[in-house]
Amino acid sequence: MNCILRPTRLYPPPKAALFALSRRSNNAPSRPYSSRHAPKEPSTSHPPRHSEHGRRHARRSEAEDQVPELAKQPLHSLSLADLVKHGRPPLSAEALLSSARFTLSLLPIRLAHRIQALRNLPYIVVSNKNISKIYNNYQHSLSTLLPWQGRTISNLEDEIRFTEVLAELVQTHTDTIPILARGFLECRKYISATEVTRFLDEHLRARIGTRLVAEQHIALHFSSQPHFDPGASPTPCPEHPSYIGVIDTALRPASVVDSCGGFVADICELNYGVRPEWVVDGEADTTFAFVPMHLEYIVTELLKNAFRATVENHMNREPIVITIAAEPPDMRPHAKHVGLSLPTETRGAFGADAIAPLDDNAPGVTIRIRDRGGGISPDVLPHIWGYSFTTFSEADEVPGGDDALSVISNASNGNSSIAGLGYGLPLSRAYAEYFGGGIGVQSLHGWGTDVYLKLKGVGKIEQETPPKQ
């Protein structure tokens, strides 16, 4: 089957970018990049030989010892308001240090919970080379963070070293879901589809938060006053006045729909020779605060389903209709508002004068995607939220298998076909539900399908003028 490579944004590798950062900073000595930068410790009288191997072994043992206690601690319920509370870029040094301390307070507990969940799988499953690789990755990442516990990140040199650890963490866990899926495929005789779905649902939700927290601080770092250089960030760091890290405070869903629609239409044209049309109606000018990468992923997967069903049902002359409705503002007296301080300096595209008022920002949106693709068969409908289900037919050519786990396990190759869409729904639902939204499906078999995507943003945002110095 033909496939199309989805365009991806390219960022400098963490090593080069952060090495350059270390050289530029006036508050840190020039040094080669190391993925294991931990807080400096007093020198000891131990001989240098085998010291690195000994430190790695000691960190690994320490991580294993602390997992049960860390995993007993409750997870902080992350909100978008948590991620924007440090203010708009370019952040001051103190705001940046506050962001680093907040990030450090969350990540070790989150990693420990995932390690404990992997330990709770059947031993024969954890012994699989792919699942074992993920387990070891989490152990390693936790071991790089534990030396920071009990310390306060109080200066920019520490913050640089901590950001380097975060960059390695993000890189280490880039392909976690495809590798896990490959492992579960190989272990399907030893674990039920229900258990796989339950584990992946929980794991994906946890991974969304962990990755987002790390990427948010990295983006704030590279858009801060002390280290301003968004183009050098190893993770997304948009230089636009409406962005706070990776969150767009004035995201326009209609623009995302059109962008993703064009991409999916290209796939349809390549695979089927036809290009379905789509129409955006409702409140197309609505804006709200959300993570664009999450919305792009969700909308792309939902449009793949709608476009493919429309083409295969020979209804490609009927446009897919996407309706956008803004959630009304909460007018209750005690409704929670989020105050954002304006930047005190101007760097690049960031500055108080470049920020548009957010009076019309919606606290959330609902997006309905309606197609005439014949609906979903009653036999299929109960299975659409499972990772062991897909819309692939036996005639479809799928590398490595014919179910959703096969599709996910090959996702790291960068291939996007129009088929194999079953995995998109559970993954999209996980992204939507993470911040209090959700996805609902209403199917009229023989006619078409309505999919309702509800997303919660930050809420009411109020600009706060910083006090004069």
Nearest-angstrom CA–CA distance, 141 and 158? 18
Buried b (16+ CB within 10 A) or exposed e, 355-370: beebeebbbbbbbbbb
pTM of the model: 0.79
- Summarised one tens digit per residue, pLDDT across range 228-244 is 999 999 999 999 989 99
- What per-residue confidence (pLDDT) applies to 19? 37
Q: Look up tokens 């080069």; give the residue.
A: 16
Residue 191, CB half-sphere, CA atoms under 13 Å: how many? 25
For residue 165, CA distances in Å to 155, 191, 200, 315 come to: 16, 34, 26, 51
Backbone angles phi, psi at 221, to 5 degrees: -60, -50
Provide mean pLDDT across the span 339-345.
64
pLDDT over threshold 60, residue 203? yes
- What per-residue confidence (pLDDT) applies to 343? 65
Q: Find the angle CA(127)-CA(133)-CA(136) to the nearest 5 degrees.
A: 95
- Summarised one tens digit per residue, pLDDT across range 279-309 is 999 999 999 999 999 999 999 999 999 999 9
pLDDT over threshold 90, residue 334? no
- Summarised one tens digit per residue, pLDDT across range 418-427 is 444 346 788 8
Phi and psi based region of residue 149 (left: phi greater than 0; alpha: psi -120 to 50; beta: remaining): beta
Q: Which residue in 84, 136, 76 sits closest to 108, CA to CA?
A: 76
Exposed / middle / buried, residue 173 (Cβ in 10 Å: 0-12, 13-18, 19+): buried
- Summarised one tens digit per residue, pLDDT across range 439-466 is 999 999 999 999 999 999 875 555 555 4
Provide mean pLDDT across the span 423-433.
86
Question: What letter would DSSP give residue 278?
Answer: E
Residue 61, H or E segment:
helix 51-72
Nearest-angstrom CA–CA distance, 133 and 320? 42
- Summarised one tens digit per residue, pLDDT across range 114-169 is 999 999 999 999 999 999 999 999 999 999 999 998 888 999 999 999 999 999 99
- What per-residue confidence (pLDDT) applies to 239? 92
Share of the chain above pLDDT 70, in %: 71
Exposed / middle / buried, residue 32 (Cβ in 10 Å: 0-12, 13-18, 19+): exposed
pLDDT over threshold 50, residue 411? no
- CB atoms under 10 Å from CB of 95, counted, come to 21
Q: What is the DSSP string of 174-229?
A: TTHHHHHHHHHHHTTTTS-HHHHHHHHHHHHHHHHHHHHHHHHHHHHHHTSSTT--
Q: What is the DSSP string of 302-349?
A: HHHHHHHHHHHTT-TTSPEEEEEEEPPP--STT--EEEEEPPSS-BTT
Nearest-angstrom CA–CA distance, 187 and 112? 24
User: Are 87 and 131 spatial neighbours (Cβ–Cβ below 8 Å)?
Assistant: no
- What per-residue confidence (pLDDT) applies to 408? 47
pLDDT over threshold 90, residue 51? no
